[in-house]
């Protein structure tokens, strides 16, 4: 396909890579370079080039790869799982599955940094937040976190930060899910937080606490009245977090009504497949007084240039780009697509529908409990919602487990004497009968319950009375009560989708984000039952397919990065950073060098880097960059020398966030090593390296990979992602393990769990597996080469209009480039935002704005964009430069012009008087393609400051929209 590159590229490679061989030739001509390999030789430093070919299986066609993956998938066995522990099977409404989960209009969007072209998913996220606020009874909620366990850890950190009593002890109820306790312990250690795991019922508060966390209902199913505990904790000045199952809150008094300061949990059972652990959206709700300390993104209501209601991310100044080592958390990519789905599940069912689901589950649980009692078992988790702890008495556990196996049922095992049963939305009366048979040890149902008895059982529910029964209403907003016919819902989903600019419309050249093709073949297996319907704690015997998938993917990623070991647990790049740094800390500790706590980070680094380092208890020491944007080697040497005894690590992004392959990367690594430090490489820019060079070869000790950047997992509008790490041999023993699941990483030296599920968001790993399987070694290498070509082509085409800020040795860039627009402020009073918003009128999403350098944009085209699309984007940028030139020359008004007033909505153009000095046509149809197909923005430019001054993060009453 690529002719002059490799001969063995698969048929799929030609579909994944945008430009064909003629295009490539033309693009090279513009650069004055004869062939692609010559371009790569001039771009990537010779000293670090990988001279061999990656040892990966032969590339497969789309059809063959799907068939091969199916063979792996069927090795997973789908049992009915009644394990619970924070994961419940549920029904994904088909209209949501097809129109959101399987729809590129939703899943290929990016985090809504350009809110005017993201109103659809912002509205969907506002629905999610409103749902969480309603269900928890708290005042504000964020737009998702990665999973329940990390949300609990974020709650602990926030409590530590806002609590004024100076205590450093955190109480963790022993009734929390074990994986939550595991993650809390991992996260507490580097911060010097002392964790007490205990029984909230007899905790004596002898030690001052800054906070506490309780599970509601408890992990074994029991519902406790936490009021007395919370009062005592508050008297100490501690903050209390309640980890709550949101479905139970439709029947139970919500945490906000019994004094909780923070509520966290997972919304998985709101229509999201189990997926062997993820992805699912966790939620985080708290009181408004803590709005500036909340981790993660919050969607807030503001207004646009016309005074119309418009949504955008609120309180952005909390985030890492600005706050760096003082950020509230390192969370960047979260779980937007899953939060959108969970919110839509509430829209689909409405308040009455959700309550009916909860009630039905509760009633079936009551019946199960009654049946088991009549069989002579006792239930030690009363009152309960959906989970029973069954005491086996004299019955041997083994007998129960064999009977369960025979019926393909998974139970939770507490110990030799007790098992757990959690019912869910999919549970039928037949399932309940089956459970009864299982415990009876017979295929005959020992007895039946008559209608009278059933009524009596339901009447006895402990949830009907004080203090548990919920009295307040929820999901009363019209959005949850208007779309209950499928026709209505389909149109609502489509309306929101069409307000958003995703990859289905045009390229999204966000630098550092790698918005490449997310091929349909890669996506299809995600919703296969063999991957989707598996509980994360299902026994290994049922997950053989997943084990093969992990093993192969780990091998492939190790080969691509040149590392000895891979951990698939971190479920975002930020979590990979945290994990990798923690692994480094444990390594130092194992050598009695725990005093090493200085982390050098170049000033050009992504904000998550310093934020992650701080979470590991490290002191961040910034390293300067030189005039060419490279790490200032002299400054690095000086800082490494100065902190030699304390040096723990350097975090370095490669190629740098300035879009350049630094020649001296090996020397940088050597300097750090010579002072006893380890090198952490931020692998977000791996798309410029795959097949050409390997971090493990040129000196890095650890590196994370954003599978949602380089390896084709779609961004989902801000998640899901996956951030596995690769490590050198000496760090392998420290990789994350898991308390619940047996995995080869469970090493005595392991740092413990850093995510709720052992393999993170396991179900989306199929996407990266498919990508590598279909590309093969040559295809992947070709992709990297073309990514570099595309970036250089754009840089060359645009540099006469906008200077390219940094270049490498031969005046070439890596896979992205920074365009400097700072002079336009002076010459035409044009801000970077004016250009970003004007691009919307041309039908484009802006590149990354003002990062890593204020007043610039960073363009990353990726290999998937065709020459035609690159030209179209360049034409838009060039046309905008001409529009700016007219301001500079005085021909056009400096205030009232197409840039300052951008973006232009249809409403704005059509209604009322038109009294701008330019035409409507110039405003809306500035380029030929806009006449053929116009992407209309749904709101005008959004006033960010207004929304932060008037903070609202839940759905407004309908009247607000009709003004
Ligand atoms: C995207 C990115 C990150 C953060 O990764 P997430 O997956 O969003 O957590 C870190 N560093 C760089 C350079 C990035 O581009």
Task: Characterise 647 by phi-psi region: left (phi > 0), alpha (psi -120 to 50), beta (else).
Answer: beta
Q: Which of 113, 327, 330, 512 to mutate to test the pocket of ligand 1 (most atoms within 8 A of CB)?
A: 512
Residues in Cβ contact with 455 at an 8 Å cutoff, skipping those fewer than 6 apart: none
Going through 687-770 in order, the beta strands assigned E by DSSP cover 702-704, 725-727
Average pLDDT score over residue span 910-933: 96
2, pLDDT greater than 90: no
User: How many A from CA of 684 to the centre of ligand 1?
Assistant: 6
Q: How far apart are CA 41 and CA 788, in angstroms?
A: 11
Task: Look at residue 640 and give its three-state secondary structure.
Answer: helix
548 CB neighbour count, 10 Å cutoff: 17
Q: Given the DSSP bridges, would you call strands 678-682 and 702-704 parallel, antiparallel or unpaired? A: parallel
Residue 962: the pLDDT is: 63
**Contact partners, residue 450, CB within 8 Å, separation at least 6:** none
Q: Which two structure tokens, joined as six digits, stand for 382?
A: 């009363």
**Residue with CA at minimum distance from ligand 1 atom 7:** 573
Q: Kindly give the distance from the C-alpha atom of residue 608 to the centroid of ligand 1, in angstroms, as a whole number.
A: 7
Looking at ligand 1, which atom is closest to the CA of residue 682?
Answer: 11
Q: Extract the tokens encoding 812.
A: 């070439």
Q: What is the distance in A from the centroid of ligand 1 to the CA of 601?
A: 15
pLDDT at position 813 over 70: yes
Ligand 1: residue whose CA is nearest its atom 15: 512
Are the beta carbons of 600 and 784 closer than 8 angstroms? no
Angle between helices 336-374 and 119-136 (to 10 degrees): 30
Three-state secondary structure readout of 316-333: HHHCHHHHHHHCCCCCCC
Residues 6+ apart with CB under 8 A from 63: none
pLDDT in tens, 646-664: 999 999 999 999 999 999 9
Mean pLDDT of the chain: 96
* Residue whose token pair is 């974020």: 154
pLDDT at 744 over 90: no
Question: What's the mean pLDDT in 803-807?
Answer: 96
Residue whose entry in the numeric block shows the structure tokens 């009907």:
464
**Whether 671 contacts 640, CB under 8 Å:** yes
Give the confidence band of 963 by pLDDT, cuts at 50, 70, 90: low
List, chain by chain if needed, residues with CB within 6 Å of any ligand 1 atom: 332-333, 512, 572-574, 606, 608, 653, 657, 682, 684, 706, 721, 723
What is the widest separation between alpha-carbon atoms in the chain?
92
Model confidence at 629, in pLDDT bands (50, 70, 90)? confident
* For residue 863, pLDDT beyond 80: yes
pLDDT of 149 reads 98
Lowest mean per-residue pLDDT among 77-81, 455-459, 876-880: 455-459
pTM of the model as a whole: 0.98
- Which of the 8 DSSP states describes residue 648? E
Quick one: how many helices (H) and strands (E) in the chain? 33, 26
Which residue's C-alpha comes closest to atom 8 of ligand 1?
333
> From the alpha carbon of 608, which atom of ligand 1 is closest?
10
Tokens of 581: 């740094």
Entry field: residues in the chain: 963
In testing the pocket of ligand 1, which one of 603, 684, 707 has its CB within 8 Å of the most ligand atoms?
Answer: 684
pLDDT at 328 over 70: yes
Mean pLDDT score, 885-901? 98
Cα distances from 444 to residues 439, 440, 584, 837, in angstroms, run 11, 9, 58, 69
* 3 has pLDDT over 50: no
Using the mean position of ligand 1's atoms as its centre, give its distance from the Cα of residue 739 in Å: 28
Contacts for 912 with CB less than 8 Å, ≥ 6 apart:
none
Give the closest residue (by CA) to ligand 1 atom 14: 684
How many whole angstroms from 579 Cα to the centroid of ligand 1?
A: 14
Whole-number Å distance, alpha carbon 708 to ligand 1 midpoint, is 10
Which of 126, 154, 118, 158 lies closest to 142 in space, CA to CA?
A: 126
800 neighbors 806 (Cβ within 8 angstroms): no
Measure 607 CA to ligand 1 centroid, in angstroms.
9
Pocket test for ligand 1, best of 112, 573, 611 (most atoms within 8 A of CB): 573
Instruction: Determine the Cα–Cα distance for residues 634 and 650; give it in Å rounded to an integer.
Output: 15
Atom of ligand 1 nearest to the CA of 333: 8
787-809: average pLDDT? 97
Q: 3-state SS of 270-319?
A: CCCCCHHHCCCCEEEEECHHHHHHCCCCEEEEEEECCCCEEEEEECHHHC
**Residue nearest atom 11 of ligand 1, based on CA coordinates:** 606
741 Cα: distance to centroid of ligand 1 (angstroms): 28
Nearest to residue 496, comparing CAs of 940, 938, 942? 938
**Residue whose CB lies within 8 A of the most ligand 1 atoms, among 144, 608, 683, 755, for a mutation test:** 608
DSSP-based three-state secondary structure for 816: coil
Atom of ligand 1 nearest to the CA of 577: 10
Q: Which of 682, 702, 708, 862 to mutate to test the pocket of ligand 1 (most atoms within 8 A of CB)?
A: 682
Ligand 1 centroid from CA 6, angstroms: 31
Helix axes 429-440, 336-374, angle to 10 degrees: 50
Centre of ligand 1 to C-alpha 280, Å, is: 19
Give start and end residues of each alpha helix (H) in 58-194.
62-73, 94-96, 104-107, 119-136, 148-162, 178-188
- DSSP character at residue 763: G
Q: What is the pLDDT of residues 138-178, one digit of tens each?
A: 999 999 999 999 999 999 999 999 999 999 999 999 999 99
Query: Residue 575 CA: which ligand 1 atom is closest?
Result: 9
Of 715, 905, 717, whose CA–CA distance to 313 is shortest? 717
CB atoms within 10 A of CB 552: 17
First vs last C-alpha separation in the chain: 56
Give dist(CA 840, CA 755) in Å, integer: 38
Token readout for 158 is 């926030």
3-class secondary structure, 878: helix
Cα–Cα distance measured from residue 857 to residue 110, given in angstroms and rounded to the nearest whole number: 16
CA of 175 to the centre of ligand 1 (A): 34
* Atom from ligand 1 closest to the CA of residue 657: 13
Compute CA distances 61 → 58, 260, 691, 775, 962, whole Å.
Answer: 10, 54, 20, 9, 52
Q: Identify the pLDDT of residue 290.
A: 97
pLDDT digits (tens, 9 = 90+) for 264-320: 999 999 999 999 999 999 999 999 999 999 999 999 999 999 999 999 999 987 777
Is residue 6 over pLDDT 90?
Answer: no
Is 7's pLDDT higher than 60?
no
The whole-number average pLDDT for the span 89-115 is 98
Containing 764, the helix (H) or strand (E) segment is: none
- pLDDT of 608 reads 95
Q: Percent of the chain at pLDDT above 70?
A: 99
In this prediction, residues 774-782 reach a mean pLDDT of 98
Range scoring the smallest mean pLDDT among 363-372, 406-415, 441-450:
441-450
CA proximity to 543, closest of 67, 70, 74, 84: 74
- Dump pLDDT digits (tens) for 661-699: 999 999 999 999 999 999 999 999 999 999 999 999 999
Q: Residue 293 Cα, ligand 1 centroid: separation in angstroms? A: 21
- In angstroms, what is the span from residue 709 Cα to ligand 1's centroid? 9
Q: Is 961 a residue whose pLDDT tops 80? A: no
Domains delineated in the chain: 44-50+529-774 (3.40.640.10), 92-508 (3.40.640.10), 786-948 (3.90.1150.10)
Q: What is the pLDDT of residues 465-498, one digit of tens each?
A: 899 999 999 999 999 999 999 999 999 999 999 9
Question: Ligand 1 centroid vs 541 CA: distance in angstroms?
Answer: 35
CA 831, 833, 837, 842 torsion: positive or negative?
A: positive
- Rounded to 5 degrees, what angle do the CA atoms 200, 204, 208 make? 100
Neighbouring-strand partners of residue 408 = none
Beta-ladder partners of 422: 387
Q: Using one digit for the tens of pLDDT, what is the confidence trace for 504-519?
A: 999 999 999 999 999 9
Q: Check if the beta carbon of residue 534 is closer than 8 Å to that of residue 76.
A: yes
| 322 Cα to the center of ligand 1, angstroms | 15
């Amino acid at each position: 396909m690529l002719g002059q590159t490799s001969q063995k590229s698969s048929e799929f490679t030609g579909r994944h890579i945008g430009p064909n061989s003629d295009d490539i030739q033309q693009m090279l001509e513009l650069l004055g370079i004869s062939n692609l390999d010559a371009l790569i030789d001039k771009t990537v430093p010779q000293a670090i080039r990988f001279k061999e070919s990656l040892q990966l299986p032969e590339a497969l066609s789309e059809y063959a790869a799907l068939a091969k993956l199916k063979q792996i998938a069927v090795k997973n066995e789908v049992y009915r799982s009644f394990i619970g522990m924070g994961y419940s099977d549920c029904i994904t409404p088909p209209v949501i599955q097809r129109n959101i989960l399987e729809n590129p209009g939703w899943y290929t969007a990016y985090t809504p940094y350009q809110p005017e072209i993201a109103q659809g998913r912002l509205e969907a996220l506002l629905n999610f937040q409103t749902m969480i606020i309603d269900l928890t009874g708290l005042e504000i909620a964020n737009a998702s976190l990665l999973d329940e366990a990390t949300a609990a850890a974020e709650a602990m950190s926030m409590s530590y930060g806002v609590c004024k009593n100076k205590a450093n002890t955190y109480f963790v109820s022993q009734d929390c899910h074990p994986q939550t306790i595991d993650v809390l312990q991992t996260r507490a250690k580097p911060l010097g937080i002392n964790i007490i795991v205990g029984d909230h019922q007899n905790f004596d508060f002898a030690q001052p606490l800054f906070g506490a966390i309780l599970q509601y209902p408890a992990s074994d199913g029991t519902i406790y009245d936490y009021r007395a505990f919370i009062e005592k904790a508050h008297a100490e000045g501690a903050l209390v977090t309640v980890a709550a199952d949101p479905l139970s809150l439709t029947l139970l008094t919500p945490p906000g009504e019994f004094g909780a300061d923070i509520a966290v949990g997972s919304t998985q059972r709101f229509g999201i497949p189990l997926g062997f652990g993820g992805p699912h959206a966790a939620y985080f709700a708290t009181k408004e007084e803590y709005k500036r300390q909340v981790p993660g993104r919050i969607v807030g209501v503001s207004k646009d240039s016309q005074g119309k209601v418009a949504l955008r991310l609120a309180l952005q100044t909390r985030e890492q780009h600005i706050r760096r080592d003082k950020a509230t958390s390192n969370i960047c990519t979260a779980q937007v697509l899953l939060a959108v789905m969970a919110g839509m599940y509430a829209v689909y069912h409405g308040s009455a529908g959700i309550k009916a689901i909860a009630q039905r589950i509760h009633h079936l649980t009551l019946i199960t409990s009654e049946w088991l009692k009549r069989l002579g078992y006792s239930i030690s988790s009363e009152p309960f919602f959906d989970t029973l702890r069954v005491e086996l008495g004299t019955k041997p556990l083994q007998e129960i487990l064999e009977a369960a196996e025979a019926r393909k049922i998974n139970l939770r095992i507490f110990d030799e004497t007790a098992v757990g049963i959690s019912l869910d939305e999919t549970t039928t009366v037949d399932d309940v009968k089956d459970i009864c048979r299982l415990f009876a040890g017979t295929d005959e149902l020992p007895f039946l319950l008559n209608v009278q008895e059933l009524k009596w059982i339901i009447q006895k529910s402990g949830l009907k009375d004080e203090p548990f029964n919920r009295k307040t209403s929820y999901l009363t907003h019209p959005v949850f009560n208007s779309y209950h016919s499928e026709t209505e819902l389909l149109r609502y989903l489509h309306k929101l989708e069409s307000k958003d600019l995703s990859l289905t419309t045009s390229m999204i050249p966000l630098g550092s984000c790698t918005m490449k093709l997310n091929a349909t073949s890669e996506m299809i297996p995600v919703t296969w039952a063999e991957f989707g319907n598996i509980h994360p704690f299902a026994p290994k015997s049922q997950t053989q397919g997943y084990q093969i998938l992990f093993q192969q993917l780990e091998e492939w990623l190790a080969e691509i990065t040149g590392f000895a070991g891979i951990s698939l647990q971190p479920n975002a790049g930020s979590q990979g950073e945290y994990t990798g740094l923690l692994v480094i800390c444990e390594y130092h500790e194992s050598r009695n060098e725990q005093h090493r706590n200085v982390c050098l980070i170049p000033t050009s680094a992504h904000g998550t880097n310093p934020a992650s380092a701080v979470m590991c208890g490290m002191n961040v020491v910034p390293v300067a960059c030189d005039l060419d944007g490279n790490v200032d080697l002299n400054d690095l040497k000086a800082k490494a020398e100065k902190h030699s005894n304390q040096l723990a690590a350097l975090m370095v992004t490669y190629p740098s966030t300035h879009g350049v392959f630094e020649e001296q990367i090996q020397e940088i690594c050597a300097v750090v090593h010579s002072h006893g430090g380890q090198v952490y490489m931020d692998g977000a820019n791996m798309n410029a390296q795959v097949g050409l060079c390997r971090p493990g070869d040129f000196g890095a000790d650890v590196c994370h990979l954003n599978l949602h950047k380089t390896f084709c997992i779609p961004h989902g509008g801000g998640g899901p992602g996956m951030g596995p790490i690769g490590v050198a041999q000496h760090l392998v023993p420290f990789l994350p393990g898991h308390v619940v699941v047996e995995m080869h990483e469970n090493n005595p030296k392991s740092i413990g769990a850093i995510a709720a599920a052992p393999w993170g968001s396991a179900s989306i790993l199929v996407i990266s597996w498919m990508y590598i399987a279909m590309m093969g070694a040559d295809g992947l290498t070709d992709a990297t080469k073309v990514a570099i070509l595309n970036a250089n082509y754009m840089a060359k085409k645009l540099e006469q209009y906008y200077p390219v800020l940094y270049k490498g040795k031969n005046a070439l860039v890596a896979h992205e480039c920074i365009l400097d627009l700072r002079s336009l402020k002076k010459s035409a009073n044009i801000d970077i935002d004016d250009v970003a918003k004007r691009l919307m009128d041309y039908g484009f999403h802006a590149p990354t704005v003002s990062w890593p350098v204020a007043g610039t944009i960073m363009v990353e085209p990726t290999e998937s964009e065709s020459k035609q699309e690159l030209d179209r984007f360049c034409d838009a940028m060039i046309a905008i430069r001409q529009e700016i030139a007219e301001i500079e020359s005085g021909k056009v008004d400096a205030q009232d012009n197409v840039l300052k007033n951008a973006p232009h909505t249809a409403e704005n153009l059509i209604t009322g008087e038109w009294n701008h000095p330019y035409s409507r046509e110039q405003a809306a149809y500035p380029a030929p393609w806009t006449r053929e197909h116009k992407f209309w923005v749904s709101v005008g430019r959004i006033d960010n400051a207004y929304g932060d001054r008037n903070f609202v993060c839940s759905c407004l009453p309908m009247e607000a929209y009709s003004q």
